């Protein structure tokens, strides 16, 4: 056998990890029996770190153990790999090299005890670790939690396991305890993302990250009053560095970490006096990071930080010059528009709404509705921008039809709203009575064409069901004339109406039932 070291103390745990993963307990027990009965013979090592051996059983089996690539090891038995003969050869080799063969037989138990021992030791050091140390510790602590096809089940398993830390975690300073809790959230978030990149998941599985993200952001919000950056600047700096690193690794256009980043600034940093110093420092970090990372999340973060500094034009330039600008999702702009609105930067909001318009010309009604809400808010403070708003809404047709209808109604532009209803083929029966009541109160005369056209339409269909609808409309039309204090106009119209349709007996009957005729 070669005199060169075949196994070192650093390689031994890796061998045990492979055994724990590739072998079951029954196979290892049978291999240990072969080893103890000295049935492994003719063990030799080649220069390529390949161990050749023979295992004498009822038959003779030849084993080839490849130390540098254990998964490629082979045996001449029917199983060929991960068999009791390979296990016995590993135990024989370990024994000759001075390592306990029993650790191979009990590899899973040994590794668990070793991990527990490391965790116990690390627990005492948690208060002195930086946040990267916390993440490494959490990764080790949760290593026994295996991913599930259902991300929801996996998340709950991680939650429950990490909650056990509450019973054994040493006393932190109050602020460190809060940040350690945050990093438990961030750890689970990272594990979800890792699994999403490794597996093809269903809608229900992939939606887990959005539900979890919403929960985490809500938790950040609830802790706003408990954070003081002046007393926790070191943890703030470390956490921002961690989230920046996560953003730099974003691929595609998911922007999950960007949401965490903006929430951290919104709820934990900007409410305090330390924010100005941190903003200048953060901008430098992001500029440096953008030079080495093409991640769109980093560009979005730069824009957000500039908005926090009141530099809306520079923020737009930072976003527009990124390589992924044309593929940016509408949801990302909503976050940035919201920041402009919260900062009451109304002129900047109008500019951003105009420039980001192409990203909202989509069928996704919810995002388009939110975009329209920002326009309405901006116009309420910058009335001169209303014409620009309507121009954009017209460009969005047909996607914006419902929005145009809603805004016309909200602004009390009754004539334009009623004209749109006629174009859409609606009539007064299409709406609840309460929808038309404000018009009846403010401008009842505008309703006359709407009602008259609808009445003529239903009568022209010439069936009893539509005659009932026409009668219902006539009764409401009579009230409109009374609102106008012009009952005589109603009398003249109705008399002519009855005479014009005097031959439609079914209509006449419905008018009598409706007590419009005696």
- Report the distance separating Cα 497 and Cα 38, nearest Å: 113
Mean pLDDT value of segment 182-201: 84
Q: In what order do the strands lie in the sheet with 40-45?
A: 40-45, 50-56, 60-66, 74-75
SS3 61: strand
Half-sphere exposure of residue 264: CA atoms within 13 angstroms, side-chain side: 28
Euclidean distance between CA atoms 50 and 89, whole angstroms: 12
pLDDT tens figures, 405-442? 999 999 999 999 999 999 999 999 999 999 999 999 99
Give the other-Cβ count within 10 Å of 9's Cβ. 8
Q: Is the dihedral of CA 353, 356, 361, 363 positive or negative?
A: negative
Residue whose token pair is 């730069």: 302
* Structure-model confidence comparison of residues 365 and 352, the more confident one: 352
DSSP codes joined into one string, 483-504: HTT-HHHHHHHHHHHHHHTTT-
Peptide bond into 398 cis (omega under 30): yes
- Give the mean model confidence (pLDDT) for residues 226-230: 78
Range of lowest pLDDT (73-87, 150-164, 168-182): 168-182
For residue 150, pLDDT over 90 is answered with: no
Question: What is the SS3 string spanning 16-52?
Answer: HHHHHHHCCHHHHHHHHHHHHCCCEEEEEECCCCEEE
State yes or no: pLDDT of 4 exceeds 70: no
Whole-prediction pTM value?
Answer: 0.73
Cα–Cα distance for residue pair 77/83, rounded to 1 Å? 8
188 and 212 in contact (C-beta within 8 Å)? Answer: yes
For residues 436 and 444, the answer to whether their CB atoms sit within 8 Å is no
What is each CA distance from 395 to 44, 70, 320, 399, in whole angstroms?
Answer: 79, 64, 22, 9
The model's confidence at residue 118, banded by pLDDT at 50, 70 and 90, is low
Query: Which residues does 60 contact at the CB level (< 8 Å), separation at least 6?
Result: 54
Per-residue pLDDT averaged across 173-182, rounded?
89
Name the residue with higher pLDDT: 476 or 150.
476
SS (H, E, C) 79-148: CCCCCHHHHHHHHHHHHHHCCCHHHHHCHHHHHHHHHHHHHHHHHHHHHHCCHHHHHHHHHHHCCCCCCC
pLDDT recorded at residue 148: 79
Model pLDDT, residue 27: 92
- Separation between Cα atoms, residue 327 and residue 253, nearest integer Å: 8
**Cβ neighbour number for residue 106 with a 10 Å cutoff:** 20
Top-ranked range on mean pLDDT: pick from 42-56, 205-219, 273-287, 382-396: 382-396
Which pLDDT value is given to residue 116?
A: 66
Nearest Cα residue to 43 out of 8, 80, 86: 86
| Per-residue burial over 401-427, b = 16 or more CB atoms within 10 Å of its CB, e = otherwise | eebbbebbbeeeebeebbebbeeeeeb
**Which of 113-127, 216-230, 301-315, 487-501 shows the lowest mean pLDDT across its residues?**
113-127
Distance CA 303, CA 285 (A): 13
Residue pointed to by tokens 């005729």: 517
Q: State the Cα–Cα distance between residues 254 and 261, nearest whole angstrom.
A: 13
Mean pLDDT (the chain, rounded): 89
The alpha carbon of 339 is separated from its chain's Cα centroid by a whole number of angstroms, namely: 19
| Residue for token pair 């540098």 | 68
């Amino acid at each position: 056998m070669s005199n060169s070291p075949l196994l070192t103390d650093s390689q031994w745990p890796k061998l045990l990890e492979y055994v724990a993963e590739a072998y079951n307990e029954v196979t290892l027990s049978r291999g240990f029996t072969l080893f103890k009965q000295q049935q492994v013979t003719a063990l030799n090592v080649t220069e390529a770190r390949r161990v050749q051996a023979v295992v004498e059983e009822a038959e003779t089996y030849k084993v080839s153990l490849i130390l540098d690539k254990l998964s490629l090891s082979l045996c001449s038995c029917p199983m060929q790999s991960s068999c009791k003969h390979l296990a016995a050869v590993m135990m024989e080799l370990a024994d000759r090299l001075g390592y306990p063969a029993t650790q191979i037989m009990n590899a899973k138990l040994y590794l668990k005890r070793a991990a527990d021992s490391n965790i116990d030791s690390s627990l005492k050091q948690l208060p002195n670790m930086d946040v990267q140390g916390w993440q490494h510790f959490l990764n080790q602590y949760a290593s026994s939690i295996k991913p599930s096809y259902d991300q929801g089940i996996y998340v709950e398993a991680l939650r429950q396991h990490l909650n056990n830390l509450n019973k054994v975690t040493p006393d932190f300073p109050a602020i460190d305890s809060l940040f350690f809790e945050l990093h438990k959230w961030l750890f689970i978030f990272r594990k979800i993302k890792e699994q999403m990149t490794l597996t093809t998941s269903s809608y229900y599985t992939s939606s887990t990250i959005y539900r979890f993200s919403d929960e985490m952001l809500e938790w950040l919000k609830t802790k706003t009053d408990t954070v003081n950056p002046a007393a926790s600047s070191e943890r703030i700096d470390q956490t921002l560095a961690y989230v920046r690193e996560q953003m730099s690794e974003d691929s595609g256009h998911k922007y999950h970490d960007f949401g965490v980043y903006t929430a951290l600034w919104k709820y934990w940093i900007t409410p305090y006096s330390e924010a100005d110093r941190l903003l200048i420092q953060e901008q430098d970090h992001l500029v440096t990071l953008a030079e080495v990372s093409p991640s769109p999340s980093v560009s979005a973060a730069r824009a957000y930080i500039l908005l926090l500094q009141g530099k809306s034009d520079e923020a737009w330039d930072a976003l527009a010059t990124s390589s992924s600008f044309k593929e940016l999702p509408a949801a990302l702009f909503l976050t940035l528009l919201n920041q402009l609105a919260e900062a009451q930067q109304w002129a900047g909001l109008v500019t951003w709404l105009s420039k980001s318009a192409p990203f909202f010309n989509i069928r996704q009604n919810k995002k388009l509705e939110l975009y329209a809400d920002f326009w309405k808010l901006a116009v309420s403070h910058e009335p001169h921008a209303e014409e620009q708003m309507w121009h954009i809404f017209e460009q969005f047709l047909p996607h914006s039809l419902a929005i145009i209808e809603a805004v016309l109604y909200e602004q009390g532009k009754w004539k334009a709203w009623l004209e749109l209803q006629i174009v859409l083929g609606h009539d007064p029966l299409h709406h609840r009575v309460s929808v038309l009541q404000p018009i009846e109160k403010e401008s009842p005369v505008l309703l006359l064409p709407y009602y008259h056209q609808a009445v003529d339409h239903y009568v022209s269909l010439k069936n009893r069901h539509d005659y009932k609808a026409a009668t219902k409309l006539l009764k409401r039309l009579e009230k409109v004339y009374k609102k106008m204090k012009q009952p005589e106009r109603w009398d003249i119209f109705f008399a002519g109406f009855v005479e014009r349709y005097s031959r439609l007996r079914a209509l006449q009957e419905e008018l009598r039932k409706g007590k419009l005729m005696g």
